[in-house]
Amino acid sequence: MKPNYKQIVLSVLLIFVINIFSLNAQEIQQRRGVQVVSPEINGDNSVTFRLYSENAQSVAVSGSWMGFGQNLEMTKGDDGVWSAKTDVLEPSMYHYNLILDGVSILDPRNPKAMRDGTRYASTLIIPGEGSEVFEVNDVPHGSINKVWYDSPSLDLTRRMYVYTPPGYEDSKEKYPVLYLLHGGGGDEDAWSSLGRANYILDNLIAEGKAKPMIVVMTNGNPNQKAAITETQPIPSDNPLIIATAKFPESLVNDVIPYVEDHYRVIANSSNRAIAGLSMGCLHTQIASLNNPEMFKYMGLFSLGLHPNDPNLEEIMKPLIAAYDKNLETLKKNYKLFYIGCGTEDFVYDGVQILRKKLDDNNFEYLYNETGGGHTWANWRTYLSDYAPRLFK
């Protein structure tokens, strides 16, 4: 059979063209930063951030380990890769954004990200003693269920997250319950995604430091059916003031009865704990003080009393009234009143006012003062310290 030279030549040319395009594609991919590593945790726990951009005029890093409004400027290399290296960071979980020509973006080389309300940021964990408690370790893991429930108090069907400890599904045991409340701008997703609550409980339970418990993580915004990624909020003139008045009522009348009807729990005050951060700390205090025989354990993370702040006057009124009315009754019934606050937290002075009120009434409490401010790094620390003290 006579060879078809025309066909052979065309085939060779086609292979040549394909190889040329393939080489160009690889070069383009490399130039676009496929080989860029970011973030890179160095041996001394400093971190190097990188971003490929030939056309950017400025790039910076804005991280949770920095002071408010501070950025770490990145410098551009000859290869079009911008980079910057931090100082040594303590073992913890951090979040950050890259600022590209003034626009905040996620790190395109980092698949790990978080959402805090309407804000998105990339995350990283510096391994070590301070972060082991919330890392994914080789221990038995509990489950998180996304649960829809009726809330007659708010006339809504709403969603909450419920953590059940390892072994719950296969046992007939009844468990104590911690009701864990998020802060302003957050929702039912906050304590698991940002607070790493399920991993903290997994690790503490595995080490025998905490009793196995159910953890209920609610949505404290009464104008929301669920997180904003699922449903749109119901319009409200002042959702924070409404939350102050409405959510603690819904927690007591809707959430707790639902949990005690649908889960194997020990339904008494000795096996019922509550804790919250910031706005959730406000909810914790109002719910506890207005129902002083409901919870034996209360955890207050980053909020106190601010009676002289005109911006908080409407929010503080029901809280101060609850202290004046029920503090003595609460004193007779509680087992642990836990307060945590950072020395750089903007609510620090209000926490000291709260402590003075408690001291003036001979009310015993446990105070955990840390460095840092109004941050998840502190709130993870407080939960890690609070949970082992429960149900003893």
> For residue 4, what pLDDT is reported?
52
Closest CA to 275 of 147, 183, 343: 183
Looking at residue 253, the DSSP 8-state letter turns out to be I
Domains located in the chain, CATH noted: 40-128 (2.60.40.10), 133-389 (3.40.50.1820)
Looking at residue 265, the DSSP 8-state letter turns out to be B
Q: Please spell the DSSP secondary structure of 193-232, one letter per residue.
A: HTS-HHHHHHHHHHTTSS---EEEE----TT-SS-TTTSP
19 Cβ contact partners less than 8 Å away, ≥ 6 residues apart:
none
> For residue 139, what pLDDT is reported?
97
- Supply φ then ψ for residue 302, to 5 degrees: 65, 50
User: In the Cβ-directed half-sphere of 143, how many Cα atoms lie within 13 Å?
Assistant: 7
Task: State if pTM tops 0.95.
Answer: no
CB count within 10 Å of CB 248 equals 28
Check whether the bond before 39 is cis (ω within 30° of 0).
Answer: yes
Per-residue pLDDT of the chain (392 residues; tens, 9 = 90+): 444 545 544 444 444 443 444 434 334 444 454 489 999 999 999 999 999 999 999 999 999 998 778 999 999 999 999 999 999 999 999 999 999 999 999 999 999 999 988 889 999 999 998 899 999 999 999 999 999 999 999 999 999 999 999 999 999 999 999 999 999 989 999 999 999 999 999 999 999 999 999 999 999 999 999 998 888 888 777 766 777 778 999 999 999 999 999 999 999 999 999 999 999 999 999 999 999 999 999 999 999 998 877 777 788 888 898 999 999 999 999 999 999 999 999 999 999 999 999 999 999 999 999 998 999 999 999 999 999 999 99
> For residue 24, what pLDDT is reported?
44
> For residue 9, what pLDDT is reported?
44
